[in-house]
Chain A
Amino acid sequence: EVQLVESGGNLVQPGGSLRLSCAASGFTFDDYAMHWVRQAPGKGLEWVSGISWNSGSIGYADSVKGRFTITRDNAKNSLYLQMNSLRAEDTALYYCAKGITFGGVIINDAFDIWGQGTLVTVSS
């Protein structure tokens, strides 16, 4: 079964840091680009970041650029999001999502598999 399982979400103070993880199974992880998408409580979807199969192509939303870093470990079938200088507006459910295009070279892609999400709350 194709599956993505996020972890690492927590309550953190403004200015703090957090590292999210996404464990992939059921497909060849290094054949696809991967992404993080977030959803603030009661709000819509916001693409956060994406990474190609070999980390050669990486992109960020303007709202997180310079504060968040996306990485992947293909040997561990895992995706990560290091989040620094967190703000109240970063409070959201963070989803890990798989790009649909085989090869994983491009990050401009639709997302065919999603995890259940991990909740990040930034509050004092």
Chain B
Amino acid sequence: IVMTQSPDSLAVSLGERATINCKSSQSLLYRSHNKNYLAWYQQKPGHPPKLLIYWASTRESGVPDRFSGSGSGTDFTLTISSLQAEDVAVYYCQQYYGTPPYTFGQGTKLEIK
């Protein structure tokens, strides 16, 4: 499964909304569970990735509620409702559907405008 993120980079003003898209080459929806096998991670320079969202829309414990995930099937979105300075990072989507490999998107670099 190929994961394609857009855009590759994004500059947003503080307090504004940031939207990152992720498209998979096949559906990530497991119908019997009604779950999308899609996660979002945030990676800051010099640090390991941090899980933000799993099952496409479930926020990980401790993640601020300005982060939200949406979408189903092949099209997904990570939204930061009001950008903070500490949100500058690279964001990755990852599919974990079915059998390996569990692929990541190429990453989206988010900066302050």
- Chain A residues near B (Cβ < 8 Å): 37, 44-47, 50, 59-62, 95, 100, 107-112, 114-117
Contacts and interface: CB of A to CB of B under 8 A. Distances in A.
B48 A110 contact: no
Contact of A112 (B51, B96, B97): B51
A100 B104 contact: no
Contact of A59 (B41, B100, B106): B100
Interface in B87-113: 92, 94, 96-107
Contact of B94 (A45, A50, A59, A115): A45
Interface of B: 37, 39, 41, 43, 48-51, 54-55, 60, 92, 94, 96-107
Contact of B106 (A44, A47, A110): A44
A45 B96 contact: no
B48 A115 contact: yes
B100 A50 contact: yes
Nearest to B5: A44
A43 to B, nearest CB: 9
What 4 pairs between A and B have smallest CB-CB spacing?
Answer: A59-B100, A114-B48, A110-B54, A110-B39
Contact of B48 (A47, A59, A95): A95
Given A44-B104, A117-B48, A112 B60 contact: yes
A108 B99 CA distance: 7
Contacts of A109: 96
